[in-house]
Structures are given as structure tokens and as C-alpha cells.
Amino acid sequence: MEIRIERQLSGVAVSVADVIEGYVRSGAVTLGLATGSSPIPAYRELIRRHREEDLSFARARAFLLDEYVGLPRSHPQSYYSVIRSDFVSHVDLADSAVQSPSGDAVDAAAEAARYDAAIHAAGGVDVQILGIGSNGHIGFNEPGEPLDSRTHVGVLAERTRQDNARFFGSLEEVPSQCITQGLGTIREAHHLVLVATGARKADALAAALHGEVTPDCPASVLQLHANVTVIADEAAAAGLYGAEIRAGQTA
Ligand code: F6R
């Protein structure tokens, strides 16, 4: 596992964008995209490189990690809409090349299974961007989730609903269910890139990287993956400071 700690948020953005750019420039690539606030500076940096440095996503395709159950695609907070307004609509990544589970499918469990199979049929994800929840979730795999789960319908933890209420008008408007890639599905990606910023993530990040591998901290599955890059700012990395980890260095 490579851990990069950056002093500035801009350094986190550049570092994440560097990894993604390497894949995108190497040819046809399947990206795994996260939503939420953590990857937004990196998406902005990739958009800048697209505009100013000829970085083209024309040969890329992408799969999202998750979606809220009950929100139509047209809802501004559906992850279908969010990833388009935060990233996809600003680059030359074809809209039809970006897949996500349908949050308003009549049979959500069947939709989850269909989506898992679609990722597999596409040959899997080459590089997966991940955020981490303050409770240690990745995707919407909440504490207690089996470490080998497939894409499934999940129930959002109350803490996650509270954390995400900032994107909605009120807590009541935050859906209570999701379709999320499972931990087993996420682990099949060739390269996992976890982005963590802010003090709110420090405890979860320390538990994920230094704690026991346990369903109580879903992000601890990263310890079981052979190709992981963690990119964090100093605040999120506060619990990681050890003998060999210092800001501005990799460990
Ligand atoms: C989003 C996702 C979530 C978020 C996590 C962190 O697609 O799967 O795991 O990455 O909740 O959210 P932010 O970045 O908003 O703190």
C-alpha cells in the first residue's frame, strides 16, 4: 500500500489526478468513479487538464460506485446527476459510457445484480476512486457488511444520512436505501485509490489502515488488496503519523 500525505488540498487533487491521468493516457480504460465531496478537487484538476493539456477521456468508460434508491436520475442529488455535473459533462467522456445503478428500478435487488454483472462483462474496473465515510464505509457498504459482498441493496447508516444531509434540503429528504457495489466487487478493481480529506475522516482512516480487518470498518478491506494508493491531507492523516509517515512523503 502506498500512502501519500499532502499538505494542501490542491496537492491531494494533483496527486489523484496524476494517477488517473496515467491510466487515461495509457489507452482504453475503465474508471471507477466515486461521488461525494472528497474527489471533487481531483475532478476539477482533471477537467483543467482536459481543457489545457489535451487530456482526453474519449476512450474511457466508467462505472459509479453507488446510487440512492428512490431517486430518479433527474433528481439533482442522484449520483447519476451528480457525477455529470461534477465531472462527466465537462470532459469528453461519452455520457453513454458512464454507467450507474438505476435508483428507481422497480426491482432494486435485480438491478443490483444486473449492475454487478455489467461491471464483470466490461472486464472490471482498472482504477477505482474511493472516498471514505466517517464511519469507515466505502461505496455505501456500511459497518457490518461482509467483506466479500457483491453489488446489493443496502440500508444507509444513520450517520451516513446525517453526513449527507448537507447535500439535501433536510435529513428527511436523504434516502434510507442505496444500491452499492459490494466490498467483493470493489476489491476486484485492479487499483484502488482512496481519497481522504479533513479531520472528520481521521479516525476512520486510521482504523481502516492500521486497525483489524473487520466488517466493523468496511474500508479495512483495503489491507487485503495488493494495489492500493491512499491520498490524504494532513488532517485526515493525523491518526497515521508514525515513524515513517510524514507530510509530503510517501510511505
Ligand atoms: C460516494 C461514496 C461514499 C463517499 C463517502 C465520503 O460515491 O461511495 O463512500 O465516498 O461517503 O463522502 P464525502 O467525500 O462526501 O465525505
Q: Mind listing the pLDDT tens digit for each residue in 66-97?
A: 999 999 999 999 999 999 999 999 999 999 99
In short, whether 193's Cβ falls inside 6 Å of ligand 1 is no
**Residue 241 falls inside a structural domain:** no
- Report whether pLDDT(11) > 60: yes
Which of 86, 135, 141, 191 is the catalytic position? 135
- Report whether pLDDT(38) > 50: yes
**Residue 247 falls inside a structural domain:** no
* pLDDT at 168 (0 to 100): 96
**Residue 239 falls inside a structural domain:** no
Secondary structure E strands in the chain: 2-6, 29-33, 60-64, 66-68, 98-99, 127-130, 152-155, 177-180, 191-196, 228-233
In short, whether 41's Cβ falls inside 6 Å of ligand 1 is no
Burial zone of 83 (CB within 10 Å; 0-12 exposed, 13-18 middle, 19+ buried):
buried
Counting atoms of ligand 1 from 1, which one is nearest the CA of 137? 9
In short, whether 11's Cβ falls inside 6 Å of ligand 1 is no
Average pLDDT over residues 39-49: 98
Known catalytic residue at 142:
yes
* pLDDT at 75 (0 to 100): 97
The grid cell for 62 is 466508467
Top-confidence residue, 243 or 144: 144
d(CA 164, CA 157): 11
- Report whether pLDDT(242) > 80: no
**Residue 138 falls inside a structural domain:** yes
Q: Grid coordinates 486510521 are at which residue? A: 206
Counting atoms of ligand 1 from 1, which one is nearest the CA of 139? 8
Average pLDDT over residues 91-108: 97
**Residue 249 falls inside a structural domain:** no
- Out of 9, 63, 65, 221, give the residue to mutate to test ligand 1, the one with the largest number of ligand atoms within 8 Å of its CB: 65
Q: Grid coordinates 468508460 are at which residue? A: 61
* pLDDT at 247 (0 to 100): 53
CA 7 to chain centre: 21
In short, whether 36's Cβ falls inside 6 Å of ligand 1 is yes
Counting atoms of ligand 1 from 1, which one is nearest the CA of 34? 7
d(CA 107, CA 112): 9
Which of 6, 66, 67, 116 is the catalytic position? 66
Known catalytic residue at 45:
no
**Residue 248 falls inside a structural domain:** no
The grid cell for 245 is 509517515
Count of alpha carbons within 13 angstroms of residue 230, beta-carbon side: 33
**Number of domains observed in the structure of the chain:** 1
* The 228-233 sheet, strands edge to edge: 2-6, 228-233, 191-196, 127-130, 29-33, 60-64, 98-99
Query: At a CB cut-off of 8 Å and minimum separation 6, what does 212 contact?
Result: 220
**Residue 158 falls inside a structural domain:** yes
Known catalytic residue at 21:
no
Q: Whose CA is nearest to atom 4 of ligand 1?
A: 131
**Which CATH number goes with the domain that contains 35?**
3.40.50.1360
Mean pLDDT of the chain: 95
The residues facing 61 across adjacent strands are 30
Domain span including residue 37: 2-233
Distance (Å) of CA 42 to CA 22, 97, 247 = 14, 20, 19
Distance (Å) of CA 219 to CA 26, 109, 128, 189 = 28, 23, 13, 14
What is the Å distance from ligand 1's center to 37 Cα? 7
Q: Under a CB-based contact definition with an 8 Å cutoff, are residues 201 and 121 in contact? A: no
**Dihedral sign, Cα of residue 90, residue 91, residue 95, residue 101:** negative
Q: Where on the phi/psi map is residue 70: left (φ > 0), alpha (ψ -120 to 50), or beta?
A: left
Query: At a CB cut-off of 8 Å and minimum separation 6, what does 216 contact?
Result: 136, 143, 144
Nearest of 4, 7, 29 to residue 15 by alpha carbon = 4
* pLDDT at 244 (0 to 100): 47
**Residue 77 falls inside a structural domain:** yes
